[in-house]
Amino acid sequence: MVSERILPEFNTASVRITKEEGLLLYEDMILGRFFEDKCAEMYYRGKMFGFVHLYNGQEAISTGIIRALRRDRDYVCSTYRDHVHALSCGVPAREVMAELFGKETGCSKGRGGSMHLFSAQHRLLGGYAFVAEGIPVATGAAFQSKYRREVMGDESADLVTVCFFGDGASNNGQFFECLNMAALWKLPIIYVVENNKWAIGMAHDRATSQPEIYKKASVFQMPGVEVDGMDVLAVRSVAQEAIARARAGEGPTLIEALTYRFRGHSLADPDELRSHDEKQFWGARDPIKKFAAYLFEHNLAEHEELKEIERRVQAIIDDAVQFAQESPEPDPSELYRYVFAEDE
Ligand SMILES: Cc1ncc(C[n+]2csc(CCOP(=O)(O)OP(=O)(O)O)c2C)c(N)n1
Ligand SMILES: [Mg+2]
C-alpha cells in the first residue's frame, strides 16, 4: 500500500465553464499528450539527440495555468520539461517538433533543441537546462513589466509572468532569493511548482525538510496554495485567482500543484526507482480521463466530439513530424548567427 499526499476532490459546483471552453481545455491537454507520445517514438527512432524530458501526466497544470493567461501578452518561463508549456503558449507544433529535430525552422532556429525552446512572439521566455535557472529570469520579466507600468506609465504593461519549475528546484537558492524579492516588490508573478514527487531519482520527501512546498511562501508573507495538479478545473481556478491578484498589483503567489510524471525523468531513464504501486496509483488519476468524465457528466461533450478533437490533434502532430523531417538543417556557415539579439 502506498500512502500518497493528495487533496480532497475539488468541488466543481463553483465552476462556470462553457462547452467551448471545456473543449478548448481538452484539446490543449490532448495536444500535449499526443505531442509527447510522438516525441518518444521519434527519439527512439534516432531523430533527436541529447536529453528529452516528457510531460505526460502533468498536462492539467500547463493547460489550467497557461490557458488562463492572456495569450501572446503575458509571459511564461519554463524548464527543460518545456514542450507542452510551449504548445499551451501557442507555439505551433511544427516549430516545436522542428526544434527537437535540430532544424532551422524550429522555434529556436534549431540551435536550442528540446531543453531550450523560445518564442518572443508567444512570450515564452525559454526552457532552461539548469535546475531553477528560469526563476531569476522570470522574476526579472515581472520586474520590468511592473517598472514599465508604474514608473514609465505604460498602461499596456499590465502583464503577468508565470514561472514553472519542479519540486527539486524548490530547494535551490534562487527560489528563496527570488520569492523574497518578488514579495518585497509586489511583483506580478506566479511561481508554479510542479511537484511530481521526484527529482530524477531523488524522492522529494528525502530531499527537503518541509515537503509541503506551498508553506514556504508564508515566510515571505506571500500567499501559498496547494492544488490537485491532476484536475485541470482545480488548477484553472487557483490560476485565475492568482492572475487577478497579480494583475491588480497585489503581488505574487506560490502555487504547488501535486502531480506525477507518467514516464521516466528523460527518455534515457529506465525508470527503475519508482515503485509499481506508486505508478499505478497516479496512473489511475490521469488528468485527461478525469476531465473527459467531467465533460460527459455535465453534458458539455459527446464521445464523438472528443474523438473528433483527438483525430484533428493527431493530424497536427503528424504534419509537424513531416514538416520537421523535410526542413533544412541550420547552415554551418551561420554558426554564430543569433548569438546576439540584433542578428534576428
Ligand atoms: C543546477 C543543476 N543541478 C543539477 C542538474 C541535474 N538535474 C537535471 S534535472 C534534475 C532534477 C530536477 O527535478 P525537479 O526540479 O523536481 O523537476 P522535474 O524533472 O521533476 O520536472 C537534476 C538534479 C541540473 N540540470 N542543474
Ligand atoms: Mg520533480
Name the percent of the chain lying above pLDDT 70: 99
Tens digits of residue pLDDT in 63-76: 999 999 999 999 99
Which of the four CATH numbers 2.60.40.1180, 3.20.20.70, 3.40.50.360, 3.40.50.970 does domain 28-282+309-326 have? 3.40.50.970
Q: Ligand 1 mean position to 71 CA, how many Å?
A: 28
Domains of the chain: which residue ranges? 28-282+309-326
Q: Does the Cβ of 174 fall within 6 Å of ligand 1?
A: no
- 255-312 pLDDT, tens digit each: 999 999 999 999 999 999 999 999 999 999 999 999 999 999 999 999 999 999 999 9
Is the CB of 268 within 6 Å of ligand 1?
A: no
User: Rg (Cα) of the chain, in Å, rounded?
Assistant: 19
* Separation of alpha carbons 29 and 164, rounded Å: 17
CB neighbour class for 290 (10 Å; exposed up to 12, middle 13-18, buried from 19): middle
Q: Is the pLDDT confidence value at 2 over 70?
A: no
pLDDT of 58 > 60? The answer is yes
Q: To which H or E segment does residue 276 belong?
A: helix 276-283
Closest CA to 67 of 99, 93, 104, 29: 29
Q: pLDDT-derived band of residue 342, with 50, 70 and 90 as boundaries? A: confident
Are 308 and 81 in contact by the 8 Å Cβ rule? The answer is: no
b/e sequence 90-118, b meaning 16+ C-beta within 10 Å: ebbbbbbbbbbbbbebbbbbbbbbbbbbb
Establish whether residue 81 lines the binding site of ligand 1, counting it when its CB lies within 6 angstroms of any ligand atom: yes
Residue identifier of the C-alpha nearest atom 7 of ligand 1: 131
Atom 21 (ligand 1) nearest CA: 166
Atom of ligand 1 at shortest distance to CA of 81? Answer: 21
CA of 77 to the centre of ligand 1 (A): 16
pLDDT tens digits, one per residue of 144-200: 999 999 999 999 999 999 999 999 999 999 999 999 999 999 999 999 999 999 999
pLDDT of residue 49: 85
pTM of the model: 0.98
Q: State whether the beta carbon of 169 lies less than 6 angstroms from ligand 1.
A: yes
Atom of ligand 1 nearest to the CA of 165: 15
pLDDT in tens, 120-139: 999 999 999 999 999 999 99
Can you tell me the mean pLDDT for 69-84? 98
Do residues 107 and 118 lie in contact, with contact meaning Cβ atoms separated by under 8 Å?
A: yes
Take atom 11 of ligand 1 and give the residue whose Cα is closest.
Answer: 199
Whether residue 167 has its Cβ less than 6 Å from ligand 1: yes
Average pLDDT for 206-217: 97
Q: What is the pLDDT of residue 1?
A: 52
Q: 166 CB under 6 A from ligand 1?
A: yes
Phi, psi of 224 (to 5 degrees): -125, 130
Q: Which residue has the cell 516525441?
A: 39
